[in-house]
A and B are shown apart, each in its own frame.
Chain A
Amino acid sequence: MTDVLERLGSQAALKVVGTRPIRPDGADKVTGRATYGADFALPGMLVGKIKRSPHAHARIVSIDTRKARALPGVKAVITSADFPDLASEEYEAGESASNLRDLSLNCMARDKALYDGHAVAAVAATSASIADEALDLIQVTYEVLPHVIDVEAAMGPNAPLLDEALFTEGLEARPERPSNIAKRNQLARGDPDAGFAAADVILEGRYTTAAVHQGYIEPHACVAAFAPDGQCQVWSSSQGQFMVRSCCAKVLGLESSDIRVTPAEIGGGFGGKTTVYLEPLALALSRQSGAPVKMVMTREEVFRATGPTSGAVIEVKLGARADGTLVAADVVLKYQAGAFAGSPVGAGSMTALACYDIPNFRITGYDVLTNSPKVAAYRAPGAPIAAFGVESAVDELAIKLGLDPIALREKNAVRDGMKAAYGPTFRDIGYVETLDAIRDHPHYRAPLGPNQGRGVAVGFWFNVGGESTAAVHVNEDGSAVVVTGNPDIGGSRASMAMMAAEVLGLPIEKVRPIVADTAAIGFSMLTGGSRTTFATGMAVTQAAQKIVADLKRRAASLWDVSEDVVDWLDGVAVCLDPSKTAKPLTLAALAAQSARTGGPISAEVSITAQGAGPGFGAHICDVEVDPETGHVTVLRYTAAQDVGKAIHPAYVEGQIQGGAAQGIGWALNEEYLFDGAGKMENAGFLDYRVPVASDLPMIEPIMIEVANPRHPFGAKGVGEVPIVPPLAAVANAVRRAIDVRMTDLPLSPPKIRAAIDAR
């Protein structure tokens, strides 16, 4: 670490990091000025719309677009024929390996429609009404096939197959027959069978969840302009402009250098916007029509055709001694992948037991194709589902053994130096601290009345690092600009400016952050995985440090002293040699003399950030159940989380509160409902019921700071952990309120009523 960081290592000395300045993009956002994807317009812009399959599973026999093309005002019509037929190829455009062919087919179906809502054609026209008319004129002939959506039904030997060429990976012997099970993974330690045999008590449970959507309020939107010379521009609301560029290049067979993607402000992502649906289509329509094309999804399209997360089955078996020590565990996870392979069952498997130190376990995960939209990442993908099962089982075990649920978890808690269930040894984790925090919080002692119950649950997420580039430029007047390539979905650009300001010794108002397009900054992996404050923040800090080193060099040359007697303190270069007459030089003074001391003062840093610290959370939820209606009211909610270091505490609190709210919705009301034909019945916000303001109490966040020594300010990722505990926290509270274990999410009123009636 440089001397700048060594000085900053003393937390008491921080002047900007840890404070709560007004976010730099705030005025634009509260006045309606900020430009989101659908707010953008270009002259001559056409409206693009998509024709979607009305069948959950069908062979596409033919598509006749002639009448649509002939309609006045229609300037382009595309089908899969306008896209290269890609070979199956893994690629890294998002955060983990995905399949290029699957991405392309999901954007535009080729031979088969695999879910109701699957895109089969698209048009661009001079108005929305003409585009709609054109869609009706496209004649598609389908051969309807039987469909399957339930995950266990899809795993069955007689299930309709989505891909006749798919053979399950990860089995001992290569299977003879194709299957909807794309992959099986296994994680094991010790000897579970021996462990169970030696246990005093065994607890088994089967838990089920439905598919839920990320629920961002802003539908997907983009504007694409394909110029006659092949150069393209895209404005898009997404979690990663470089990912958009890469996906468009591959799906359309273009060069990345010919595509420039500008990130619009984004109205929520939560992982759902880490892939593309519209952009390649908009570019193809623009190419054919010669005009810019705007495409905006309706809310119904968002539900029918963009990835929710998996619905799943979780089977948990726990073995413990009478004193609560866990000795064995067996977890089976069956996750829906939707139309193409790639559910987050792998991460679900790795996180399922991550909070527990168990000597013997076996975790098996199945990735299963179903005739529903291809699942997309949703905040800690895979982890909330597995945690629902495990945390419900652990709670039931606590009840069975007569143990306090926090004490039971503390007894089996992972600590520094222990091996994680997924392999490596934990270092610098703050899990036990979160348990202590909720146990000691007054919430845990608040009195409970009739029909009320209290639930506790914990959760884990890895958080990632990854590639990031950041640039810092000093302006002629000594203020600065910080440039990164990460869309701001939660207030991160404020944190970037704060970290740079801290290192430079400038007040926060003099450091302005921007999020740049793909041509204006070096590559950055997308915003997600709780990585931005960690990885991009690391790049920003390093760039600011380079600037400080440069400033010291310039001061030294102006003073004619050696660099090692120059120090940088609170934004000023000072000479440490008392024998020299060297007046301190402010950043502004040095900036004014930049030309003669080496040129513009600028630094850019590109890194693959390593050492992202994993995060842990512990939540308490109090509920009251109305025995007449089955309605569950959340009375109190407290969420403790190890955040490493809260760079901007208000936005860290916001992540904790927002994640908890999504988890509460997942537990109580949200679910995809399909009819007998495989069509989503509740594809709108009226019947897909997300939490509203009157559903929730204040959510109390407790930020625990066990620093991550790998990050210059000790930060750990925070965005994803908070959605992991709530599903079981709510379910465990309901368990104690009505004395019945509910195992099927969501815990909607009719189910609760039925459980109460059956008591």
Chain B
Amino acid sequence: MPHVVAACSSCRAFTGGLAEFDVEADTVRRMIQALDRRYPGLGEHIDRRMAIAIDGEIFQDADGAPLTAASEVYLIPRIGGG
């Protein structure tokens, strides 16, 4: 099962302070849906405000990206630039 870490404080408002989860999912979209079922509202928050790092690589808006049992997933705030 992919291991998910919420590496910023904004997600924890939805999870009652929890920052790490094991989630049953084989794509990013399914992972977000699973997290939203567990913590209502977290899914939309992730969609709007977060980027996802899978095994060190940052993905933004990459719903189809695959996850394996060994995937390490970080939720980090979306990055802008100048």
The answer on direct contact between A and B (beta carbons under 8 Å) is yes
Interface residues of A (CB under 8 A from B): 90, 92, 94-97, 169-170, 184-187, 214, 270-272, 274, 344, 346-347, 350, 377-381, 422-427, 461-467, 528-531, 608, 610-612, 710, 717, 720
Residues 41-82 of B, flagged 1 when their CB comes within 8 A of A and 0 if not, give 000000011000101111111100100000010111111111
* A96 pairs with B61, CB closer than 8 A: no
- When the two chains form the complex, which single residue of A169, A186, A346, A377 contacts B82, counting CB atoms closer than 8 Å? A377
CB-CB under 8 A from B74, the residues of chain A are 423-424
CB of B45 to closest CB in A, whole Å? 10
Whole-angstrom CA separation of A92 from B78 in the bound complex? 11
**In whole angstroms, how far apart are the Cα atoms of A160 and B48 in the complex?**
31
Interchain CB contact under 8 A, B81 and A95: yes
Q: Which 4 A-B pairs have the closest CB atoms?
A: A271-B82, A529-B81, A424-B53, A423-B7
- CB–CB B80/A528 < 8 A: yes
- Please state if B80 and A347 are interface contacts (CB–CB under 8 Å): yes
A427 engages B80 (CB within 8 Å): no
Q: Would you list 19 pairs from A and B whose C-beta atoms are within 8 A, ordered by A residue?
A: A90-B48, A97-B48, A186-B9, A270-B82, A271-B82, A274-B80, A274-B82, A347-B79, A347-B80, A350-B79, A378-B82, A422-B7, A423-B75, A424-B7, A464-B81, A608-B60, A610-B57, A610-B60, A710-B57
Within the complex, which residue of A90, A169, A424 is in contact with B58, where a contact is CB–CB below 8 Å? Answer: A424
- Assembly CA distance A90 to B53 (angstroms): 23
- B5 contacts partner chain A, Cβ-Cβ < 8 Å: yes
> Closest chain A residue to B79 by CB distance?
A462
Task: Pick from B9, B75, B77 the residue with the most CB of A within 10 Å.
Answer: B9
Given A185-B10, A608-B62, A427:B56 Cβ within 8 A: yes
Cβ contact of A464, chosen from B5, B60, B77, cutoff 8 A: B60
Check B78–A96 contact: CB distance below 8 A: yes
Q: Which residue of A lies closest to B44 (CB)?
A: A90
B18 at the interface (CB under 8 A from A): no
Q: Could you tell me the dominant secondary structure of chain A's interface residues?
A: loop
Cα separation A423 to B75 with both chains bound (whole Å): 8
| Closest beta carbon of chain A to B28's beta carbon, Å | 11
CB interface residues, B 1-60, toward A, < 8 Å:
5, 7-10, 13, 48-49, 53, 55-60
Contacts of B56 in A (CB 8 A): 424-427
Least CB separation from B54: chain A residue:
A424
Residues in A with CB closer than 8 Å to B77 are 96, 185, 346-347, 350
Cα A547 to Cα B18 in complex, Å, equals 49
Query: Is the pair A97, B78 in contact by a Cβ cutoff of 8 Å?
Result: yes
B-side contacts of A720, CB under 8 Å = 81-82
A376 to B23, CA, bound (A): 37
Given the known inter-chain contacts A424-B76, A425-B72, A462-B58, please indicate yes or no for A187 contacting B82, CB distance below 8 A.
no
A612 in contact with B58 (CB, 8 Å): yes
**Structural contact, A423 and B59, CB atoms closer than 8 A:** no
Q: Would A610 and B10 be within 8 Å (CB), given that A344-B80, A424-B53 are in contact?
A: no
Min C-beta distance of B39 to chain A, whole Å: 17
Residues of B that sit less than 8 Å from A by CB = 5, 7-10, 13, 48-49, 53, 55-62, 65, 72, 74-82
Contact between A611 and B82, CB atoms less than 8 A apart: no
Distance in Å: Cβ of B13 to nearest Cβ of chain A: 8
A184 CB to closest chain B CB (Å) equals 8
CB atoms of B79 and A423 under 8 A apart:
no
What A residues does B78 contact at CB under 8 A? 95-97
- Which of B9, B57, B79 is A170 in contact with, Cβ under 8 Å? B9
A706 and B56 alpha carbons, distance in the complex (Å): 16
Chain A residues with CB under 8 A of B48 = 90, 92, 97
> In the bound complex, do residue A610 and residue B58 qualify as a contact, i.e. CB atoms below 8 Å apart?
yes
On whether the beta carbons of B9 and A424 are closer than 8 Å, the reply is no
With CB as the reference atom, state the residue of chain A lying closest to B50. A97
Residue among B7, B53, B77, B79 facing the most chain A CB atoms (10 A cut-off) = B79
Q: What is the minimal beta-carbon distance from A308 to any residue of chain B, in angstroms? A: 12
Instruction: Kindly state the separation between the CA atoms of A528 and B9 in the bound complex, as whole angstroms.
Output: 26
Query: By the criterion CB–CB under 8 Å, are A529 and B60 in contact?
Result: no
8 Å CB contact of B80 from A95, A214, A272, A426:
A95
Docked complex Cα distance between A274 and B9 (Å): 27
List the A side residues contacting B49 at CB < 8 Å: 90, 96-97
Alpha-carbon separation in the docked complex, A427 to B80 (Å): 21
Instruction: Give the CA-CA distance A95 to B80 in the complex, in Å.
Output: 5
B82 touching A380, Cβ below 8 Å:
yes
Are A380 and B81 interface neighbours, CB within 8 A? yes
Of all chain B residues, the one with the shortest Cβ separation from A461 is B81
A717: nearest residue on chain B (CB-CB)? B81
> Which residue of B has the minimal Cβ distance to A531?
B81
Complex contact B53–A467 (CB within 8 A): no
- What 8 new A-B contacts, CB under 8 Å, besides A423-B7, A425-B56? A274-B80, A379-B82, A423-B8, A424-B55, A424-B57, A529-B80, A531-B81, A612-B58
In Å, the complex CA distance between A380 and B79 comes to: 10
> Least Cβ distance of B55 to chain A in Å?
7
In the complex the two chains form, what is the Cα distance from A463 to B72 in whole Å?
Answer: 21
In the complex the two chains form, what is the Cα distance from A423 to B55 in whole Å? Answer: 10
CB closest residue in chain B, given A425: B56
Query: Chain A contacts of B65 at CB under 8 A?
Result: 610
List of B residues within 8 angstroms of A425 by Cβ? 53, 55-56, 72
Contacts of B81 in A (CB 8 A): 95, 271, 377, 380-381, 461-464, 528-531, 717, 720
Q: Whose C-beta in chain A lies nearest to the C-beta of B17?
A: A172
| Closest B residue to A378 using CB positions | B82
How long is the Cα–Cα vector from A92 to B47 in the complex, in angstroms?
11
| Distance A186 CA – B9 CA, assembled complex (angstroms) | 6
Once A465-B60, A608-B61, A611-B57 are accepted as A-B contacts, the answer to whether A94 and B10 lie under 8 Å apart by CB is no
- In the bound complex, residues from chain A placing their C-beta under 8 Å from that of B53 are 423-425
Report chain B residues within 8 Å CB of A344: 80
Q: How far is the CA of A346 from the CA of B80 in the complex (A)?
A: 10
Cα distance A170–B48 when bound, in Å?
A: 17
Report chain B residues within 8 Å CB of A463: 81
What residues of chain B lie closer than 8 Å to A271, measured between beta carbons? Answer: 81-82
**Closest-CB distance, A98 to chain B (whole angstroms):** 9
Closest to B78 in A: A96
On whether the beta carbons of B5 and A423 are closer than 8 Å, the reply is yes
Assess whether A187 is in contact with B9, with CB atoms less than 8 Å apart.
yes
| A381 contact set on B, CB distance < 8 A | 80-82
Per the bound structure, the CA–CA distance linking A185 and B57 in Å amounts to 23
CB distance from A623 to the nearest CB of B (A): 26
**Assembled-state Cα–Cα distance A564/B80 (Å):** 43
Min Cβ gap B59→A in Å is 5
On whether A466 and B60 interact (CB within 8 A), knowing A344-B80, A380-B82, A381-B80, the answer reads: yes
Assembled-state Cα–Cα distance A466/B10 (Å): 22
B62 cross-chain contacts in A, Cβ below 8 A: 608, 610
